[in-house]
Structure 1
Amino acid sequence: MEIKEIKQQLSLLEVVVHYGLYPDAHYRLHCPFHADKTPSLQLYPKTGTYCCFSSNCNAGTGDAIQFIQLMEKCNKHEALIKAQGLLTVAGATLPVKPVTAPVVNAEEEVLEQEALLLKVFNFYKKALPLTKKAVEYLEGRGITYPLHEIGYNSGGLHVESKNHYLVSSMVKYGLLKPRPAGGYNVWAKDCVIFPLRNGDNKIVSFYGRSISNDSDQRHFYLMGRSGLYPGYPQGSATRLILTESMIDAASLLQQPEISMEYSVLALYGTNGLTEEHQQAIMSCSGLVEIILMLDGDAAGQAATVKHAQTLAGLLPHLLISTVALPADEDINSVLQTHDDSRILAALIDQRQPVSFFSSIEEKKLTVVMPTVPVSAPSDNRLNTVNAELLIYDGGLLQLTVLGGIKVTGLDRMRVTLKVAHLQKQLLPLRHNLDLYNHGHTEQLISKIAELFDMSMQVVAGVIGQLTSALEGYRVQRIESLQPRAAVRPELTAAQRQAAINYLRQENLLQQTNADIGKSGIVGEAVNRLIAYLVYSSRKQATPLHVMFLGASASGKTYLQEKVSSLIPAEDKIEITQITENAFYYFKQEELKHKLLLIEDLDGAESSLYPLRELQSKKRISKTVTLKDSKGNLKTVTVTVEGPVSVSGCTTREKLYEDNANRCLLLYVDSSKEQDKAIMDYQTRLSAGVINHSGEHAIKALYRNIQQVLQPVQVVNPYAHYIQLPEQIFKPRRTMTLLLSFIETVTFYHQYQREVKRDGQGQSYIVSTPADITAAFQLLKEVLFSKGDELANATRNFLEQLKVYLQQHGQESFTPQQIRQQFRLHPRSLQRYIRELHQYGYLRQVTGYKHRKGFEYSIADNGEYHQLTSEIDAQLQVILSKITATASTATVVRQ
Structure 2
Amino acid sequence: MPRIPEEELERLKREVDLATLVRSKNIELKPHGSKDLIGKCPFHDDDSPSFVVTPSKNLFHCMGCGAAGSVVDFVMRSDGVSFRHAVELLREQNPRLFGGEAAKRATVPKLESPVAFDANDHALFRQTLDYYRERLLATPPALEYLDNRGISREAIEAFRIGFADRTLGLRLPQKNRKDGAEIRERLTKLGLYRESGHEHFNGCLVFPIFDESGNVAEIYGRRMGKQKSGIYHLYLAGPHRGLLNAKAFESPEVILTESVIDALTFWCAGLRNVTCIWGTEGFTDEHLEAFRRRKIRRVFLAYDSDEAGDRAAERDASRLGSIGIDCFRVQFPRGMDPNEYALKVKPASKSLPLLIQSAKPLFSSKTEVCPDERDTRALSSFEELAANSLVAEEATKEEIPSPQANHAVKLAQLGEDHEVEIGDRVYRVRGLSKNASLEVLKINLRVMHEGLFHVDNLDLYHARQRNAFIVAASEETNLKIELLKRDLGKILLALENLQEKRLKAELEPKSSAVEIPDGSREAALDLLRDPRLLERILTDFAACGVVGERTNKLCGYLAAVSRKLDRPLAIIVQSTSAAGKTSLMEAVLEMMPEEERIKYSAMTGQSLYYLGESDLKHKILAIVEEEGAEKASYALKLLQSEGELTIASTGKDDNGRLKTEEYHVEGPAAIFLTTTAIDIDEELLNRCLVLTVDESREQTQAIHALQRDADTLEGLRLKIERKQILDTHRNAQRLLRPLHVVNPFAPRLTFRSDRTRTRRDHVKYLTLIRTIALLHQHQRPLKREGSLEYIEATLADIEAANSIAHEVLGRSLDELPPQTRRLLGLLQGLVKSIGEEKGIDLDQVAFTRRDARAFTGWSNTQLKLHLDRLEDFEYIDSLRGTRGSSYEYQLAFDGDASSGKPQLMGLIDLEKLRYDTKFTGVDGEFAGQAEKNTGPKRPKNAGCPKPESDASRSSSGGSLEVYRNGHNREASLEILPAVAGS
Task: Please classify the TM superposition score into its range, dividing by the shorter chain length.
Answer: 0.3 to 0.5
- What TM-score results when the alignment is normalised by the length of structure 2? 0.41
- What TM-score results when the alignment is normalised by the length of structure 1? 0.45
Tell me: higher relative CO, structure 1 or 2? Use CA pairs within 8 A at least 6 residues apart: 1
Structure whose CA Rg is larger: 2
